Each structure stands twice: as structure tokens, then as C-alpha cells.
């Protein structure tokens, strides 16, 4: 959610571990229980390790000063699972795809955690545009051939991806979960 508010991922490298823990406690609904907060700077490294393990980010201290939100690994696993129910090599409406994905990844667009945090931050979610983190993940899945995003130039009723001037993929009309990968 903070990536959306900051229009990018750079915000995370600017915060110390203590500042990041304070931000989580402030922004996460129900994180202050009256006693000890459910998240603090001591818990941060364990959370970061867990998030990296389940495929929600990377920790590259040699190149990055902090955890970096990167959902590609988890997204690829969940998309392959979705292929078994939604079908492989079949054009899907993006909303069908995203609605099936949200229960498996509740912290992305349309998921219950995403929506809950957006509500607590009084942030309007953009239903016609995906978040930066999810857009980046979908673009990488497309580039790697896990999915094929189709976006003909004259298409209407599309879902916009978050802006990325370095990538040609700007929106989705349909998405195909490729069975051959």
C-alpha cells in the first residue's frame, strides 16, 4: 500500500528498521493492541525472512539497502495453480483472473488485506488500474512467458497497469495462463 501512496518502491530504502516498524504499527489495522505492538523492529528481520521465503520480496544487502517488495516468485506459483482451475492457454478476462487470484494473495489488489489497509488509510483503490507491485509482477510473468497479456491498440474495457516508461505493456484486455511453461 505504501508503494501506491509513494508512487514507487523507493520509500522503503529511506526508512530505518525502527522507522519501518513504527510505520507498520501506525498503518496496519489492529496492530496496536494496548500492550506491546504486534510488530516492532526486533520482529522486522523475521518478517523480512518470511516474506522472502514465501516469494513476496527480496533481500539483497549487496545491492539493496533493505527488503524490496517483489511478488514475482509467489505470483508465478499462484498463477500456475490458477491454470488448473481457470484453464491453461485460454483467454481470460482480467477481472476473472484477478478475482480468482485475490483469495490466494490477499495482500494484492482486490484481496481482503489490501482492501482493509486501503480503507484504514482512507485510500481510494483504483479499480481500473493495478498497483505498482502487481503490475510489475504481471509484466515479468508476461516477459518470462508464464502468462501472455493481450492488449490490442484499439481495445476498450481494459485494466491499466501502473505506469512504467521502460516497458511496452501498458494495459490488459485479456490474459492467458500459458500451459507450456
Summarize pLDDT for 47-64 with one digit per residue, the tens. Answer: 778 887 887 778 766 555
Q: Helix H segments across 14-158? A: 17-27, 44-53, 72-86, 94-101, 112-120, 132-143
3-state DSSP call for residue 122? coil
Summarize pLDDT for 116-169 with one digit per residue, the tens. Answer: 777 777 776 666 789 888 999 999 999 999 999 998 777 778 899 998 989 999
Measured from the Cβ of residue 107, the count of other Cβ atoms closer than 10 Å reads 19
- CA dihedral 51→37→118→98, nearest 10 degrees, is 30
pLDDT for 77: 93
Q: Say if residues 173 and 150 touch (Cβ distance below 8 Å).
A: yes
The percentage of the chain sitting over the pLDDT mark of 90, rounded to a whole number, equals 36
User: pTM higher than 0.85 for the full model?
Assistant: no
Degrees, nearest 5: CA angle 133-42-72: 20
Split at pLDDT 50, 70, 90, the class of 40 is confident
Summarize pLDDT for 8-26 with one digit per residue, the tens. Answer: 666 676 777 788 777 777 7
The helix-helix angle for 72-86 and 94-101 (nearest 10°) equals 110
Q: Which three cell numbers stand for residue 4?
A: 501506491
Amino acid at each position: 500500500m505504501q508503494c501506491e501512496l509513494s508512487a514507487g518502491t523507493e520509500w522503503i530504502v529511506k526508512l530505518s528498521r525502527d522507522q519501518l516498524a513504527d510505520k507498520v504499527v501506525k498503518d496496519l489495522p489492529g496492530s496496536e493492541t494496548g500492550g506491546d505492538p504486534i510488530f516492532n523492529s526486533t520482529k522486522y528481520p523475521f518478517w523480512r525472512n518470511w516474506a522472502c521465503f514465501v516469494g513476496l520480496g527480496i533481500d539483497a544487502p549487496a545491492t539493496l539497502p533493505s527488503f524490496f517488495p517483489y511478488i514475482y516468485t509467489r505470483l508465478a506459483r499462484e498463477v500456475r495453480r490458477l491454470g488448473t482451475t481457470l484453464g491453461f492457454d485460454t483467454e481470460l478476462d482480467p477481472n476473472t483472473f484477478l478475482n480468482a487470484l485475490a483469495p490466494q494473495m490477499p495482500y494484492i489488489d482486490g484481496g481482503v488485506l489490501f482492501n482493509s489497509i486501503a480503507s484504514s488509510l482512507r485510500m481510494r483503490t483504483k479499480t481500473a488500474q493495478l498497483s505498482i507491485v502487481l503490475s510489475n509482477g504481471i509484466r515479468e510473468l508476461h516477459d518470462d512467458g508464464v502468462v501472455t497479456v493481450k492488449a490490442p491498440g484499439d481495445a476498450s474495457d481494459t485494466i491499466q497497469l501502473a505506469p512504467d516508461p521502460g516497458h511496452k505493456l501498458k494495459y490488459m484486455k485479456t490474459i492467458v495462463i500459458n500451459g507450456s511453461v
